[in-house]
């Protein structure tokens, strides 16, 4: 493709400095918008024909040419020329080579400002769809693994200290809940991205031509044209919200990854990652490193940084379009790829890891995990909780000082601390009872965990069907 004149070329007497041309070119990354640019251009061409601004023969030529370009791009045969600056000019120039001067009619009534805002909205809608699929796939893996471990018990932790016993299934269902909220955020964003079409807003003030913005909005799956032309080209709310949703999602994934790293250490030894999701050491032959989880954990910083980057770009921009907005795309593209990859890798690592249920059960035998149950026995004997808490705190200190098992204390031993104790610690404390008596909604009792698994499984199946039914549309 030969070097073409810039669209503003008649205004300028000199060609662009090569250094600035390289500095300002965006086609190296905004070519990711190619399919969306072509889709928007086809809708725009058909609208121009419907209002009589171009002939039906022109419409047919433009659509046929654009569809041929789409095939070229998908086949990897399209030459992207950095001298043409961006994806819009690359497509326009190549279209002119294919269909001749009629290509010059396509830009009637639009600017690259509303064009790129439309392309980005279409791209983000598809990314929201893909990420929802990734989140549903990860939730499915967690539910499958959780169902295998309904009766696997381990300590739950607060402040990284052993706290109370829980079922492993209950623990993993916590991440299912988190990811369900992540998925809901992307679903809601997808709907918002479909509410208003920027196309037809022009550079900032619309057009004097008799455009039918409702026509292009409907053709591209938007509910209506954007209500304000200046807002349509100046705003990047959708990109910011996408980055924010992704940052939250990555933080949730990072927390899960951190547990995989901890649990796979010799100090915990609760799990072992599969070889396929681990690496070794170039020096120490015994090492097996949880690199898949570590990289997911690290990449959360990258995604958070992308959000901060675009927030910083946007914070001082006056209305309407400014070239600063070229900087919106690389953070968005990088975040979309990073999040999709992290979801896939995390799902694979979870699906293939080995759980050491005996090691978990051994850690859950720590009698101090039942100290709260001992305090609640006093509450049932009509003591205020604060008094019961203080009493059991003294008992725990007594046991630690003498290296005693809490469950070894007789009724008389307990009554030395408070006469309200109705029985010995062995009678009052039971790991199985501690789990089963937490039978309220959201608790770790077996029947509640089974109910939660069934509900999650049904929701995932329903939401997968809904996602399939709407295809790429919200």
* 34 within 8 A of 77, measured Cβ to Cβ: no
Q: Which DSSP symbol is given to 279?
A: B
Beta strand extents in 51-106 (DSSP E only): none
Residues with Cβ < 8 Å from 315, sequence gap 6 or more? none
Options 101, 159, 282, 469, the catalytic residue: 159
Residues with Cβ < 8 Å from 112, sequence gap 6 or more? 7, 86, 88
Q: Which DSSP symbol is given to 7?
A: T
Q: How far is CA 361 from CA 164, 270, 371, 382, in A?
A: 12, 10, 18, 33
* 159 within 8 A of 111, measured Cβ to Cβ: no
Residues with Cβ < 8 Å from 140, sequence gap 6 or more? 460
* 228 within 8 A of 202, measured Cβ to Cβ: no
For residues 84-108, one letter each, b for 16 or more C-beta atoms within 10 angstroms of the residue's C-beta and e for the rest, the string is bbbbbbbbbbbbbebbeebbebbbe
CA distance 87 to 80: 8
Options 28, 111, 264, 281, the catalytic residue: 281
* Catalytic status, residue 264: no
Q: Which DSSP symbol is given to 333?
A: H
* Catalytic status, residue 281: yes
Scan for tokens 């080579």, then name that residue.
Answer: 97
For residues 118-140, one letter each, b for 16 or more C-beta atoms within 10 angstroms of the residue's C-beta and e for the rest, the string is bbbbbbbbbbbbbbbbbbbbbbb
Contacts by 391-399, CB closer than 8 A, 24 or more apart: 391/417, 391/418, 395/371, 396/368, 396/371, 399/368
HSE toward the beta carbon, residue 426, CA cutoff 13 A: 8
CA torsion sign for 346, 348, 350, 355 is: negative
CA distance 17 to 10: 16
Active site residues: 159, 281
């Amino acid at each position: 493709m030969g070097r073409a004149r810039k669209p503003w070329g008649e205004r300028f007497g000199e060609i662009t400095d090569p250094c600035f041309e390289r500095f300002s070119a965006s086609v190296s990354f905004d070519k990711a918008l190619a399919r969306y640019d072509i889709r928007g251009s086809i809708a725009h061409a058909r609208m121009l024909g419907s209002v009589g601004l171009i002939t039906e023969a022109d419409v047919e030529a433009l659509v046929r040419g654009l569809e041929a370009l789409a095939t070229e791009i998908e086949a990897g045969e399209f030459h992207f020329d950095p001298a043409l600056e961006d994806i819009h000019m690359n497509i326009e120039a190549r279209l002119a080579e294919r269909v001749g001067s009629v290509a010059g009619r396509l830009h009637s009534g639009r600017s690259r400002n509303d064009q790129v805002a439309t392309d980005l909205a279409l791209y983000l809608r598809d990314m929201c769809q893909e990420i929802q699929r990734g989140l549903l796939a990860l939730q499915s893996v967690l539910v499958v693994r959780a169902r295998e471990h309904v009766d696997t018990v381990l300590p739950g932790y607060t402040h990284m200290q052993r706290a109370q016993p829980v079922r492993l299934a209950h623990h993993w269902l916590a991440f299912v809940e988190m990811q369900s909220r992540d998925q809901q955020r992307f679903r809601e964003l997808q709907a918002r991205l479909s509410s208003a079409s920027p196309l037809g807003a022009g550079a900032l003030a619309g057009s004097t031509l008799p455009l039918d913005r409702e026509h292009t909005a409907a053709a591209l799956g938007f509910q209506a044209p954007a209500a304000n032309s200046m807002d349509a080209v100046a705003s990047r709310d959708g990109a910011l919200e996408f980055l924010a949703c992704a940052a939250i999602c990555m933080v949730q994934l990072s927390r899960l990854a951190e547990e995989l790293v901890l649990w796979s250490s010799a100090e915990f030894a609760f799990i072992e990652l599969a070889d396929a999701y681990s690496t070794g050491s170039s020096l120490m032959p015994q090492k097996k490193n949880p690199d898949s989880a570590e990289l997911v954990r690290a990449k959360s910083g990258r995604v958070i940084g992308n959000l901060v980057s675009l927030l910083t770009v946007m914070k001082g921009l006056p209305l309407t379009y400014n070239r600063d907005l070229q900087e919106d795309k690389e953070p968005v593209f990088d975040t979309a790829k990073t999040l999709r990859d992290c979801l896939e890798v995390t799902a694979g690592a979870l699906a293939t890891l080995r759980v050491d249920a005996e090691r978990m059960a051994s850690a859950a035998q720590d009698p101090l995990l039942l100290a709260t149950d001992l305090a609640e026995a006093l509450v049932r004997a009509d003591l205020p909780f604060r008094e019961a808490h203080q009493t059991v705190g003294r008992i725990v200190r007594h046991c630690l000082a003498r290296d005693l098992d809490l469950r070894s204390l007789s009724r008389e031993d307990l009554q030395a601390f408070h006469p309200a104790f109705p029985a010995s610690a062995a009678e009052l404390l039971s790991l199985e009872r501690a789990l089963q008596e937490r039978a309220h909604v959201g608790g770790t009792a077996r029947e509640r965990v089974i109910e939660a698994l069934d509900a999650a499984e049904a929701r995932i199946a329903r939401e997968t069907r809904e996602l399939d039914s709407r295809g790429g549309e919200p």
